[in-house]
A and B are shown apart, each in its own frame.
Chain A
Amino acid sequence: MLRLPRRRLFMLGSAALLGTLPAPRLRNPFTLGVASGDPLPEGVLLWTRLAPRPLEPAGGVPPVRYPVAWQVAEDDRFRRVVRSGTATAAPEYGHSVHVDVRGLRPGREYHYRFRAGAHLSPPGRTRTAPARGASPRRLRFATASCQSYTDGYYDAWRHLAAEDLDLVFFLGDYIYEGAINSVGGSRMDPALRLPDTFELETDTLDLYRMRYALYRTDPDLQAAHAALPWVLTWDDHEVQDNYADEVPRLPGALPADFAVRRADAYRAYWENQPLRRPRQPSGPDMSLYRRFRFGDLAHAYVLDTRQYRADQACGDGLRAGCAERDRPGRTLLGAAQRDWLLDGLGRSEARWNVLAQQVMMAECRYGGPANRLDMDKWDGYATDRRRILQTAARMPGTVVLSGDIHCNYAADLHAGPAVVGVEFVGTSITSGGDGSDTTGQLDLQRRYNPHLRFANAQRGYLRCELTPDRIRADYRVMSQVTRPGGTITTRASFVSERARPGLVAA
Chain B
Amino acid sequence: MLSHWRQYLAISPFFVVFGVFSFFPVFYSLYLAFQRWDGMGTMEFVGLQQFRFLWTDPVFWMSIRNTLVIWVLSTVPTLFGALVLATLLHSVRRFKGFYRIALYLPNVTSIVAVSIFFGAVFSNNFGLVNAILGTVGISPVPWLSNPWLIKLVIALLMTWMWTGYNMIIYLAGLQAIPTQIYEAAKLDGAGPVRTFFQITMPIMRPIILFTVIISTINGLQSFSEPQVLFGSNAANPNLGGPGQAGLTTLLYFYQSAFVNNDYGYGAAMVWAFFVLIMVLVVVNWRLVQRGRKS
- Tell me if chain B binds chain A: no
State the B residues within 8 Å of A (CB): none
Which residues of A line the B interface, CB within 8 A?
none
